[in-house]
C-alpha cells in the first residue's frame, strides 16, 4: 500500500470517528436530521479532501488532532455540497457513492436541512479550541473557508454550472467555473494545513499552486470519467453532464487531449512540491491518484 | 415614533447599507446568485433580529459599526432560513414579505444556493475584524451562532416542525420546537450584543431570559396571527399551519388563552430587563411590539 493510500485511509477513519462522536443521535424527532447527516458524512466518501488537509498539515508537524478537526470541517462542507447538488432542483442525481442520494434515502426536505446543518457544523468545528489553541489561526480558517465555500467560491461555481447549458463556455470560462465549484474547496483543504502549520509565504504559495493544479486535473479527469464509465463502476449516474447539455473539458478538448492536459497539470502540481523534499511524497502520489482513477 | 421604532429603522437601514456593499454584483454568470441574495436580504424585512442585536449591544456602549456587523450576520441567517423554509419541499410558500418567495422570483436551485451562500456569509462577517478587534469575541460569536443555527438549534427545530403533523405534540413539545426553530436565533441576536459588550454573568442571564420569553411570545403571537389574518395583510400565505395539520399554540390553547400566554411572557421578558434601568426602554417597547403586531 502506498503512503498516499495509507494516509488517506487513516484520515478517513479519524474523521469518521470524530463525526461519529459529534453526530450522536439526539432524543427528539430531530434525530432524523442527524441520521441523514451521518448517512452522508460517515459512509462511503473517499476522503480525498480530508486527506489533503491532513497531509498538508503533517508537512509542518501540526498536531494530528488539530489537522483532523480541520479535515472534518472540509469534509462536512464537501458532503453538504454533494447533498444539495444531488437535489432534484439541482443536478437531480438519485445515486451517490453507490447508494441512494440523501433525498432518495430520506426526502428532499431532510436533504436540504442536512446540508444546511453540515455547513453550519463545519464552522462550529473550525471555531472550536480543539482545532487549534491559537485564536488567530481558528479565525483565519473560518474566514478562508467562508470565502472558498461562498458566493465567490463553491456556491457561485455551482450557480454557473447550473446555467452552463445556456452559457456556451469556452475553456477559460469552464476553468473559472471549475476553480470556483470544486477547486476552491480543494485549495482550502490544503491551505487549512498551511494555516495550522504557520507556513511561510513560499510554502503556502507552493501548496496553493499544487492545489490549484490538482483541482483542475481532478475535474478534467472527472469529465473524462463521466464520459467513459458505466453507472455501476462510478457509483453515480454516469454520462449525466453531457446528457444535460453541459460543456465539459472532455467535450471541449476531446477525451484524448483532456487526458493529456490532466497529465500535464499533475506534473506541474508535483513540481510545486519540490521545496518540501521527500516529506511531500504522499502528496505527490495523491496528485498521480487524481488522474489514475480513470484508468 | 417610539424609541423602538426609531432604533429598528436605524438598524435596518445600516444593515441594508452593509449588505448593499457586501453583495456587489460580480461580473460572471454567478451574478444571478447574488441578485437572489440581494432580493431577500435587502428588501422588505422588518429587521427585528438585527434590531435586537443592535439594541442589546448599545446597552454596553458597543461601537455601532461592530453591532451592525453582528446584526447583519443574524439577518443573513434569518433570510437564509426563510428562503429554504419557503421551498416547495419544505413549507411551500409562494409569498414572503408581500412579494414572491425567492424560488418563485428566481427558481428552486437559485433559492437553495442563495440560502447556502447567505449562511456562509454570516460566518464570514462574524470572523471579520470589522465585527470586533478582539479575536476571542469573534470566535465566541461564530461558535454561538453555529450552535443556535445548527442541528441542535434552528435547523433541528425545522426538522421537527416538518414532522409535526404526525407527532401529536403537547405544549411542552411545541415549546421545545419553537425554542429551537425560532427562539435560538432570536436569543443569538441578543447574545451577540452581550458578547460584543463583554456583559457580566447577571447581565447576560437577564438578556437571554428576555430573549427566551420574547421568542416564545413572538411564536405564539405568530400562531394567533396565522389563524386571524388575511393573506394580503400578512404578506405570506395565511392559515397555512393549520391547513398542513400542524399543531400550533393557537390550536393547542385556543386563540384567547394563547394571547394571554403571550402577554404574560412579555411582562416576564420586561421584568428581566430591570437591571439595565431606562437604557433598556427600547427593548421593553420591542417586547410589547411582539404581541401588538396581531391587534
Model confidence, pTM? 0.95
Chain A residues with CB under 8 Å of B107 CB are: 89
Q: What is the DSSP letter of B77?
A: H
pLDDT tens digits along A22-77: 999 999 999 999 999 999 999 778 999 999 999 999 999 999 999 999 999 999 99
B151 touches chain A (CB under 8 A): yes
Q: Which long-range contacts (C-beta less than 8 Å, at least 24 apart) are formed by A285-290?
A: A285/A2, A285/A3, A285/A4, A285/A5, A286/A4, A286/A8, A286/A48, A286/A51, A286/A52, A286/A55, A286/A214, A287/A210, A287/A213, A287/A214, A287/A217, A289/A4, A290/A214, A290/A217, A290/A218, A290/A221, A290/A262, A290/A266
List the single best residue of B21, B25, B29 to mutate versus A (max A Cβ within 10 A): B29
Does residue B1 have a pLDDT over 80? no
- Mapped onto helix, strand or coil, the DSSP state of residue B90 is coil
d(CA A152, CA A142): 15
Q: What is the pLDDT at residue B226?
A: 78
CATH of A3-292, one of 1.10.600.10, 1.10.760.10, 3.30.2320.50, 1.10.10.10: 1.10.600.10
pLDDT tens digits along B63-102: 999 999 999 999 999 999 999 999 999 999 999 988 999 9
Does residue B230 have a pLDDT over 50? no
pLDDT tens digits along B135-153: 999 999 999 999 999 999 9
Q: What is the pLDDT at residue A232?
A: 45
d(CA A93, CA A100): 9
B26 to A156: CB separation less than 8 angstroms, yes or no: yes
Chain A residues with CB under 8 Å of B138 CB are: 139
Does residue B52 have a pLDDT over 90? yes
Please, what is the angle between helix A3-22 and helix A31-41, to 10°? Answer: 180
Q: What is the pLDDT at residue A97?
A: 87
Residue A112 has its nearest CB partner, among B23, B87, B149, at B87
Does residue B232 have a pLDDT over 50? no
Q: List all residues of chain A from 6 to 45 with a beta carbon under 8 Å from chain B.
A: 23, 26, 28-30, 32-34, 37
b/e A212-227 (16+ beta carbons within 10 angstroms → b): bbbbbbbbbbbbbbbb
What's the whole-number mean pLDDT along residues A176-204? Answer: 97
List the single best residue of A150, A164, A184 to mutate versus B (max B Cβ within 10 A): A150
Domain boundaries, chain A: 3-292
Amino acid at each position: 500500500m502506498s503512503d498516499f493510500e495509507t494516509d488517506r485511509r487513516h484520515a478517513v477513519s479519524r474523521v469518521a470517528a470524530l463525526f461519529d462522536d459529534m453526530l450522536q443521535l439526539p432524543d427528539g424527532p430531530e434525530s432524523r436530521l442527524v441520521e441523514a447527516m451521518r448517512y452522508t458524512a460517515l459512509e462511503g466518501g473517499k476522503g480525498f479532501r480530508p486527506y489533503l488537509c491532513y497531509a498538508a498539515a503533517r508537512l509542518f508537524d501540526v498536531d494530528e488532532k488539530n489537522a483532523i478537526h480541520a479535515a472534518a470541517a472540509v469534509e462536512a462542507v464537501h458532503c453538504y455540497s454533494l447533498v444539495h447538488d444531488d437535489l432534484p432542483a439541482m443536478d437531480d442525481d438519485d445515486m451517490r457513492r453507490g447508494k441512494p442520494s440523501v433525498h432518495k434515502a430520506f426526502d428532499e426536505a431532510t436533504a436540504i436541512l442536512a446540508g444546511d446543518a453540515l455547513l453550519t457544523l463545519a464552522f462550529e468545528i473550525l471555531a472550536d479550541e480543539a482545532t487549534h489553541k491559537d485564536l488567530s489561526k481558528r479565525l483565519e480558517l473560518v474566514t478562508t473557508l467562508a470565502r472558498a465555500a461562498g458566493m465567490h467560491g463553491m456556491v457561485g461555481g455551482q450557480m454557473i454550472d447550473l446555467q452552463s447549458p445556456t452559457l456556451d463556455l469556452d475553456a477559460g470560462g469552464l476553468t473559472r467555473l471549475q476553480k470556483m465549484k470544486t477547486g476552491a474547496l480543494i485549495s482550502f483543504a490544503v491551505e487549512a494545513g498551511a494555516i495550522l502549520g504557520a507556513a511561510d509565504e513560499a510554502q503556502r504559495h507552493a501548496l496553493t499552486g499544487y492545489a490549484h493544479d490538482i483541482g483542475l486535473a481532478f475535474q478534467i479527469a472527472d469529465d473524462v470519467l463521466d464520459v467513459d464509465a458505466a453507472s455501476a463502476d462510478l457509483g453515480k449516474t454516469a454520462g449525466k453532464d453531457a446528457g444535460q447539455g453541459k460543456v465539459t473539458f472532455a467535450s471541449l478538448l476531446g477525451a484524448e487531449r483532456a487526458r493529456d492536459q490532466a497529465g500535464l497539470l499533475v506534473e506541474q502540481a508535483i513540481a510545486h512540491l519540490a521545496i518540501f523534499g521527500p516529506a511531500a511524497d504522499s502528496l505527490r502520489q495523491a496528485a498521480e491518484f487524481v488522474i489514475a482513477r480513470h484508468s
